Amino acid sequence: MTANRAKKAAFFAVVAFFIGCATVPYTGRHHLVLISTREEKTLGLEAYQKTLQSSKLSQDREAVEMVRRIGLRMARVAQAPEFEWEFNLIDDPKMVNAFCLPGGKVAVYSGILPVSKDETGLAVVMGHEIAHALARHGAERMSQGMLANFGGAALSIMLANKPAATRDLYNQAYGAGVGLGVILPFSRSHEAEADHIGLILMAKAGYDPGEAVNFWKRMEESSKDPNAPLAKFFSTHPSHGDRIKDIQSWIPEALSHYKP
């Protein structure tokens, strides 16, 4: 990199810091977000619609009602009036997962129901996923990717607020990554932060946050892997043991919000 380009990149980094600095709710962490909430919601809605179009929605009325009941209780305490909430259960017994996209678009895969076991267990999962959206982790990760991969040119595009270019950068930033030194550590911190915020959300919604420990113990049992040490190093998620230890330390705080 020439001295000129280095100075330009540094200038854009400073500008980006002051323009894009935001605060995560509940934890108070400061982070860099270069994407507007409007653009983020648009991207989230597009991704959600594509997922639903290519998936089979569950016809299990009782399970669907449980997902939506939990979701509405979470939405009432999330303090996100700009979100347009939607909750769906996808029929896929092999997929042990759930997600919440920007704007409050939530999907739960049926494969996680045997692990969650009951409504409170599923509230652990949904609280965690909704916390990712409230904390704007996707936009933060995208911003990190742009800074790492595209430098000043990407920042100038983002600051110019061009939606088409934003979509391209969104796809590239998530797909490229910059290795273990930058992207993965932030992803692990995002997971821990989502656990922390998720505990508070479920407690405020009337679910016992102490059940989170039992849920993650069940997850640990269901995902036994002989290569666990290597998986822990490369995984974007904390190990189950680390996660449970952190959750136990946050439960007293969450209980202060608990309203059965």
| The pLDDT of residue 256 is above 50 | yes
Within a domain: 32: yes
Structure tokens that stand for 68 in this block:
């939506």
Within a domain: 2: no
**H, E, C per residue of the chain:** CCHHHHHHHHHHHHHHHHHHEEECCCCCCEEECCCCHHHHHHHHHHHHHHHHHCCCECCCHHHHHHHHHHHHHHHHHCCCCCCCCEEEEECCCCCCCEEEECCCEEEEEHHHHHHHCCHHHHHHHHHHHHHHHHCCHHHHHHHHHHHHHCHHHHHHHHHCCCHHHHHHHHHHHHHHCCCCCCHHHHHHHHHHHHHHHHHHHHHHCCCCCCHHHHHHHHHHHHCCCCCHHHHHHHCCCCCHHHHHHHHHHHHHHHHCCCCC
What is the CA 110 to chain-centroid distance, rounded?
Answer: 19
**86-137 pLDDT per residue, tens:** 999 999 999 999 999 989 999 999 999 999 999 999 999 999 999 999 999 8
Number of domains in the chain: 1
The per-residue pLDDT for 95 is 92
Domain containing residue 51: 8-255
Average pLDDT, the chain: 80
**188-235 pLDDT per residue, tens:** 888 999 999 999 999 999 999 999 999 999 988 887 655 544 455 445
Within a domain: 260: no
Dist CA 7 CA 179 (whole Å): 24
> pTM of the predicted model, to two decimals?
0.79
The per-residue pLDDT for 112 is 95
Listed residue (219, 191, 221, 204) closest to 255, CA to CA: 204
Within a domain: 1: no
What is the CA 177 to chain-centroid distance, rounded?
Answer: 17
Mean pLDDT of 12-32: 68
What is the CA 42 to chain-centroid distance, rounded?
Answer: 16
Dist CA 119 CA 1 (whole Å): 54
Q: Please indicate whether residue 82 is annotated as part of the active site.
A: no
Q: Which of 39, 86, 129, 211 is catalytic?
A: 129
pLDDT band at 144 (very low <50, low <70, confident <90, very high): confident
Within a domain: 67: yes
* Contact call for residues 32 and 143 (beta carbons, < 8 A): yes
The per-residue pLDDT for 73 is 98
Percent of the chain with pLDDT over 90: 49
Within a domain: 63: yes
Q: What residues does 106 pair with on adjacent strands?
A: 87, 100
Within a domain: 29: yes
Provide the residue type at 193 as one letter: E
Within a domain: 194: yes
Structure tokens that stand for 193 in this block:
């932060």
